[in-house]
Each structure stands twice: as structure tokens, then as C-alpha cells.
Amino acid sequence: MSQTVSKKFLRSVDTCVDDNLLGYVKLHTGVKLLKKHSAVIRDDLESIKRDGRVTILSGGGAGHEPFAAGFVGRGMLTGAVSGAIFTSPTSANILATVRLLATGNSGGLLMLVANYTGDRLTFGQALERARLEGLRVEMIVVAEDCALSAVSKSVGRRGLCGMIFMQKLAGAMAESGHSLPDIVDHLNRAAKKMGTMGVCQSSCSLPGAGALFQLGADELELGLGIHGEVGVKRIKVRSSEAIVEMMIRHMTNTESTSHVELKRGDCVAVLVNNLGSLTHIEMNIVAHDVFTLLTQVMELKVERCYVGTLQTSLDMGGFSISIMHVTPSLLRYLDAPTTAPAWLQVGSGLVTNDSLLFVDPMAVEETSFAVPASTAKLNRHETDLLQNCIIRGCEVLILNEAKLNALDSGCGDGDCGTTLKKGAKAVLYLIESDLDWSCPMDIFLRIGSAVSESMGGCSGGLLSIFFTSASGALSNRLTTIDWCNALEIDPLAAAYQILRAQLEVGSRPLAALTESVAEAREVCKQTAGMKAKAGRASYVGSDFLGQPDAGATAVVLILDAILEIVKAG
């Protein structure tokens, strides 16, 4: 079976890396592109050399953006060199960049390299050649992956998003005038006290190719790298909270040779990194789970928590967690200002007490919004009938959630059933409270408030208006015509017109209701060919017509349920 080629917005697969770098330097001030060598350089390089400050170089294969070019700026990297996608830069390009950054600079150059064989070889080759040329260059290999329980002595741990911590520390120290040996010493000590682990729900896909590996609908890949390589374990989908706990327990497992030591009271900085295509919703939930586990369960002091997209694996649907021990001096370097566009500037004093995260709503007396009391009351039989109709209507909406979502997906956003289910559950919860069922005006008014609070979108607004309007129609009298008038709203227009006409010619209420429900079913079928005039569906072309409207279908389901109860009663 042929592999599906991924779709990307590119000029050309062959030139996408160079096109990306050119676009980046055009759109960001303070940086320039090293001609023919795929490297982004700070435009104040000559000033750095004159001051004798250390220059910082990093890089690697493309596909990890914003790493590494996004971290070039005052207070972070002086330069970043890029290879092809998931391919280490050529030693020639690295050497050309090293010569530019180190020549004439008494402060010297520090290269930060992730622990991958290709990167170590090409950066290492450039390092040896630069030293032969008399340039002052040092190299630190970052290797903080905690996924592998038994690490090969020849290859070692992989370098992952902890690299960003190293780049920030090195850049801040260099900016403040620290010497090359001092920076190397601080970074080597910090690198030994950090760890990273990743997980994904979908693989990445290379431009011009398909996904690098496949995951089942119920599978996650744990402990993966950032080049599309599979992880150490394939696990079943579970909640974000459970996944975070599994990852951090693995990272801190003392039986693993790659674990990071953490104990109660330790001060740490945390980086929750989007590996490519997770939504902001997912990232905020994951970050909250990470923060809660570290602070409330493990009782660590999370001094800084960075959440965002820093080092990706193209469009991979996953995230990584990096944890680093911090001291007051390291925190100063993390907090030091930088012009690097991709760095996440966060504040101190993170709130660990959830109760401090909320603001209480204004305390307003309910009587301030009281409506006139109703004089219209139901008898016991009518009360039971009303309650049963409302309960059954809610039940059918809950049971038909998937059906309504499917109908809504062609011309809407596929959530009509879910939204109506929320409202139905809110009404059922309301029914459990002590209500005066003999007063339909009050019941409908309360239902209107319940759906308004629990439902969003057009459905919530329409239903809230309907029940509020219906309560007004039933405030003084409860004749069959009054109940009919309670239906006088556009979504129920067809049923209302037939019901009203049948009642006015003397038809029995049950017969009139049966006729009106039949008319509602017929009109619902006709919506399959109607073009919407409002809402999201109004933007959808006629090619997507053919299915009845989800909202109209919901109305018919409710009316059918009411008819069933009335016939039985």
C-alpha cells in the first residue's frame, strides 16, 4: 500500500529549508543570513567582538523550528546553523560560521551541540579544524534524555529540549561578560541536573513524504526522539493527568541510569514543550497537570514554568517535559532580558494554591431580579405530565448526541449533539432540586437560565430565549391556546402553525399535537435542501447539502418524545 504524502504550504520541497531561513531573517530585526552557509547571525557581531564577549553557536537539522534560529538574539545565541530537515549541518557550513564568530574575538566561542551522532561528528570536525587555525573554541554536548533506562556508553543520552535551557544560560552569561571557562563550568554542572522526556499521539511527516511511523487510534508513543524515531514504549491512550504522571515517574525512576534526581523541596525550572501540532487547549491542560504533580504531589518548588513551542519535530502531535534544578544565580540568567523571538519570558511567584486563582462573582440578591409571581397553576396530573415530558425530552437528546453531531459536521462544527447534551444534563440536574412543578412559568424560567449557563453557541441562545418566552406565555392562564402560544418561536414555527390551526377549529389537543409533530417531521426533512442564511452553516457551499439540519432534527426528537408521553398519559 502506497504511503500518503503529507500536505505542506511550501514553494518547493527541495528549497524549503533555505526558503524558511530567508523568510525568517526578512521578518525579524537584529539578524542576518550568512550567505551560502544556512546560518542566522546577530547583526551586532562586530560590537560583541570589540567587547571581547563570548559568542554562542548552536544548531542542528531543520524541522525543529523555532529551534535554533529563533533563539538568536541579544542574551541568547550569537548564531545558529541549520542542516537539511532532520540532518546535521555540514561541517563546511559550521566551520564557516565558527570562523565568522570566533575570528578576532578574544572572548572565544562556545558551541552547544545536541547529542546525536551526526551533530557530534560535523560540529566536532569543525571544532578540530578551528582549533588548528588558532581559534578559541569550546564545545558542550547536551544529553539529557530520560527515556532510555539503560544508556549505551558509546552513544549516550539524546539531546532534547533541555538544550533551550543551556542556550539561555550561556547567552545570558556571555552577555554579562563571563569568561568562556566560567560559562563552560556553569553549563556542565547545570546539564548534569536536568532531564527531558516526550510523548506523542501522532508522528511527524516530512515534506514530500508521509508519516515516519503509524500509531493506532488508541495508542501513544512514549519516550520518543525529535527526528521521528519511535520511542521506548507504546502505550494506550489515557488522560493527560495519567500521561504526565507516567512520564515524570519514569524520569525520576532511580533504577534508570538516565533518571534525574528530584526530592522534596528541590527548586526547579520546568519547560513544557509543544512538539509541533498540539492545540493551546491541550498544552494548557498538560502544563497544569505537570505543575500540579510537581508542586502538590512531589512538593517541589517550581520557580519558573515555560509553556510553548520551542523545539518541534515538524508537525508531531506531542509534547515534552524538561526539568532542571536551579539556584538563585541560574534563575537570574533565565530571567535576564533577551531579544530572541522564540524565548518565553515568564514571571516569578507562580501560584500553587488553587483557591487564589479565582475571583468570586459579585454577590447580588436574587430578589433584585425577581419576576412577578404567576397565578397559573397545574393540577397533580398535569404536573406529572409536564415533568415526564421534560425528562423524556432531555433523555432523547442525550441518547442522540452522536447522531446530532454527525448531522452537524457537514455544515457546522460537529458539536450540536454535545451542546444539547450539556443543556439536557443541566436541566436533569435542575429537576433534582426542590421545584414547584405546579407553576410552569417558574419551571420554564429556571430551565431557560439552566441552558443559558450550560450551553454556548446558537443552540444555547435560542433555547434560552424559547424557555424564557414560553414562561411569559404561561404566566396567567394555562389553556391549550396558551400552551400553543408558548411554542411561538421560529424553530418551532411549523409545529406551532399546525397546532394553532387545529385547536382553533376544535380538534382535540392530542389529535392537534399529533398533526403538528407530523408537520415538524416533514419540515425537518426539507431542511436537507435548504441553504442556511445565518450561523456557520451559511458559509458552507451547496455541495454539503443533503442531510437534515441537526437543530431541526433535535426539535423533532423532542416533539416525538413529548407526543409519546402525552399519549401514554
Cβ neighbours for 472, distance < 8 A, ≥ 6 positions apart: 441
Question: Are β-strands 55-62 and 79-85 bridged in parallel, bridged antiparallel, or unpaired?
Answer: parallel
CB 414 within 8 A of CB 408: yes
Q: Is 24 helix (H, G, I), strand (E, B) or coil?
A: helix
Q: Is 259 helix (H, G, I), strand (E, B) or coil?
A: coil
Determine the Cα–Cα distance for residues 195 and 159; give it in Å rounded to an integer. 10
Number of residues that this document lists for the chain: 569
Question: Are β-strands 219-222 and 194-202 bridged in parallel, bridged antiparallel, or unpaired?
Answer: antiparallel
Query: DSSP code of 71?
Result: G
Determine the Cα–Cα distance for residues 211 and 203; give it in Å rounded to an integer. 6
| Residue 528 grid cell | 436537507
Tell me whether residue 227 is one of the annotated catalytic residues.
yes
Cβ neighbours for 462, distance < 8 A, ≥ 6 positions apart: 489, 491, 551
| Residue 327 grid cell | 539556584
Q: Give the DSSP per-residue string, 94-142.
A: HHHHHHHHHTT-TT-EEEEEES-HHHHHHHHHHHHHHHHTT--EEEEEE
Determine the Cα–Cα distance for residues 102 and 104; give it in Å rounded to an integer. 6
Determine the Cα–Cα distance for residues 72 and 74; give it in Å rounded to an integer. 7
Determine the Cα–Cα distance for residues 503 and 500; give it in Å rounded to an integer. 5
Determine the Cα–Cα distance for residues 323 and 269; give it in Å rounded to an integer. 6
CB 166 within 8 A of CB 194: no
User: Please, what sign has the CA dihedral across residues 493, 498, 504, 507?
Assistant: negative
Q: Is 17 helix (H, G, I), strand (E, B) or coil?
A: helix
Cβ neighbours for 109, distance < 8 A, ≥ 6 positions apart: 54, 55, 56, 57, 98, 101, 102, 130, 135, 136, 137, 138, 180
Q: What are the CA-CA distances from residue 159 to residues 12, 98, 311, 369 (Å)?
A: 30, 21, 11, 61
227, 259, 288, 325: which one is catalytic? 227
> Does residue 66 have a cis bond before it (omega within 30 degrees)?
yes
Q: Which residue type is seen at 65?
A: E
Strands (E), 300-418: 301-308, 317-325
Q: Is 206 helix (H, G, I), strand (E, B) or coil?
A: coil
- What residues are annotated to the active site? 227
